[in-house]
Structure 1
């Protein structure tokens, strides 16, 4: 099989995988992250259309150029926007479109006008319009992948305000996709402007196929990020992702009340050890302390100068250190991780290293000396 035949085979795999994956996301059999999966499914379907020309050419055994149809070009131009919409709903399932969100149509309208002028304007030289065409595609792709990236980064800060185990809800896979797409877009456009784009097809298609399989694996295993109960979800989403900003805001409670809750919280953490529950979150802890989630978050941020994730995991690491030092303990490193409230060895090692500058194994070996 030569390179050309292998490339055609990869194209078929790409198109089929994207269409199948889009159907799975739109049907959403697990009924999780419903709005996010809907928009992500639309994104995947639009993304598949970029290989439709090559697939139809293989089927008809003659050159087919669907991408030259104006309606198809406009629809394809919306692909990065659909991706951004899915990111919005993954990070905030309560997001609602407002009239001000019509701003997302500004670039597509400019794109549409440029196409109409290029096709029906009667201009002899369309060089300028071609540059505008490519420029709008590049700008739109880079703008929305960049916007998606920073939205995910904000989300990762916010979930540390209410979750003690962020693995599985931190959207790392989606962040990696935005970075990869960002890089590929730059390479592809630069190569299109400077060299023969067909020479790059095999490499780009191969990379895209790997990315699509990566997307399929992680997107299908993505669990619900926020509680399904609307009131709880709204409370958690409204918590500021940056605890430092709380200091410049109006006090939620008096200093006396803060000291009282702080003392009560420390007593519960020492005696009841709720941090050993790997599913502990701000809602569960606030129920134990009998205060609202906002007040508890304020106490942890202001009273301890930490976010919820840091506060809980310091207790877990302290508990794990005792188990690691215990000569009578028969637990493995993984066993100690689970016993201490972590839900994976990876998160345990990462957190332990961050707080102690040692891995659990290094700490255990040093304590044995």
Structure 2
């Protein structure tokens, strides 16, 4: 009885939390990622419907067959709204095309199966049909994380890692839930749902914190946004690369870029992106991306952070900066966080900044 009461308590927290958080994200207090947050709020609202019948029964309300059918019907759109939210996080200027209608195939199949199934099977289908969308979301974000390095020197706050984590957790828990439902249908009826409810509760509250603090990924200025998106999406579309810089100008621009990096040190600006650096050498972002890829065989992220790491190495071995903490060195070198500094430094030097400093000082 005690376990059942605790399960009901967690159930109320889960359902109520989803509703409150969905409306909070809909209000969008930070006024960022408007389309993405709108669809994410709808996703959370529909996600709450998976526990709506349990809440109604907890309140001693017996839902009518029509209401049950309606709830199962709206659940069809739950993964679609998560998918749309992901699409607009990745590309806020996305324009829908006819080929996008293919995402309605799974919901239509799901609807047909629900209309011709018993309640237990319908419940199973309502959960399992989320899996294809979650898998697609995971791989789309992983591709986006690679592309974003073409335009930004600092990706920690815009790489949507929380969405990767969410999709991974959801996929795992939904697989467990599907197995649980199959066990209930074909082997033995087991009514203990406490563990699953607690896991979903953890996912919801941890995810909500991340989405609420997600900053705007692309510049608010429409022209700047379009320029960066055009460069970022260029590789994804696999268009044939034209020669954007004449041969006679190529080496001169390489020298100019290297001179700017050494004299003006733009890499010390933690918010440096492809657009800002291209302005410094008076070429457009497409040309700078072309120059980096073909002249240095590097993307923008690696090119800029290479200079930051070198600058940090100089500071870590300088007597003038002995009293600076690792975080202080990170900020002085153009990094925006200690985590990013440690990760990038170790990737390039094969040791952490602390290890490098100790080795250089002979400790």
TM-score, normalised to structure 2's length?
0.92
Quick check: 1:80–1:145 contact (8 Å CA) kept in 2? yes
Return the alpha-carbon distance in structure 1 between the equivalents of residues 7 and 291 of structure 2. 58
Return the alpha-carbon distance in structure 2 between the equivalents of residues 100 and 18 of structure 1. 32
Structure 1 residues 25 and 115: alpha-carbon distance in aligned structure 2, compared to 1, 3 A threshold: same
1:222 equivalent in alignment to 2:221: no
1:268 maps to 260
Structure 1 residues 276 and 349: alpha-carbon distance in aligned structure 2, compared to 1, 3 A threshold: same
Quick check: 1:177–1:211 contact (8 Å CA) kept in 2? yes
2:245 maps to 253
Q: 1:362 aligns with which of 327, 330, 355?
A: 355
SS at match of 2:116: helix
Deviations 1:329-348 (A, max 9, x none): 12111100000000100000
Cα deviation, residue 130, structure 1: 6.8
Return the alpha-carbon distance in structure 2 between the equivalents of residues 194 and 315 of structure 1. 57
Cα deviation, residue 242, structure 1: 8.2
1:83 maps to 82
Quick check: 1:165–1:342 contact (8 Å CA) kept in 2? yes
Cα deviation, residue 208, structure 1: 0.7
Return the alpha-carbon distance in structure 2 between the equivalents of residues 199 and 257 of structure 1. 72
SS at match of 1:101: helix
1:5 equivalent in alignment to 2:5: yes
Structure 1 residues 200 and 147: alpha-carbon distance in aligned structure 2, compared to 1, 3 A threshold: farther
Structure 1 residues 274 and 282: alpha-carbon distance in aligned structure 2, compared to 1, 3 A threshold: same
Structure 1 residues 324 and 65: alpha-carbon distance in aligned structure 2, compared to 1, 3 A threshold: farther
1:308 equivalent in alignment to 2:307: no
1:27 equivalent in alignment to 2:27: yes
Deviations 1:239-292 (A, max 9, x none): 246879989633222222221211111000000000001011111111111110
Return the alpha-carbon distance in structure 1 between the equivalents of residues 21 and 123 of structure 2. 29
Deviations 1:88-147 (A, max 9, x none): 0000000122233222222222222223334xxxxxxx6xx9769845752x31110011
1:93 equivalent in alignment to 2:92: yes
1:45-64 correspondence to structure 2 within 5 Å: 45-60=45-60, 64=63
Q: 2:316 aligns with which of 319, 324, 335?
A: 324
Cα deviation, residue 162, structure 1: 0.8
Deviates more, 1:40-49 or 1:249-258: 249-258
1:75-224 correspondence to structure 2 within 5 Å: 75-118=74-117, 134=124, 137-138=127-128, 140-195=129-184, 198-224=190-216
Quick check: 2:278–2:284 contact (8 Å CA) kept in 1? yes
1:287 equivalent in alignment to 2:279: yes
Return the alpha-carbon distance in structure 2 between the equivalents of residues 331 and 320 of structure 1. 11
Q: How many aligned positions are there?
A: 358
1:231 maps to 223
Cα deviation, residue 150, structure 1: 1.1
Quick check: 1:49–1:76 contact (8 Å CA) kept in 2? yes
Cα deviation, residue 192, structure 1: 1.1
Structure 1 residues 276 and 153: alpha-carbon distance in aligned structure 2, compared to 1, 3 A threshold: same
Quick check: 1:50–1:67 contact (8 Å CA) kept in 2? no
1:347 maps to 340
CA RMSD of aligned residues (A): 2.3
Q: Could you list the runs of 5+ residues in structure 2 that have no partner in the other structure?
A: none
Structure 1 residues 185 and 200: alpha-carbon distance in aligned structure 2, compared to 1, 3 A threshold: farther
SS at match of 2:59: helix
Cα deviation, residue 65, structure 1: 7.1
Q: Could you list the runs of 5+ residues in structure 1 that have no partner in the other structure?
A: 119-125
TM-score, normalised to structure 1's length?
0.91
Return the alpha-carbon distance in structure 1 between the equivalents of residues 238 and 256 of structure 2. 21
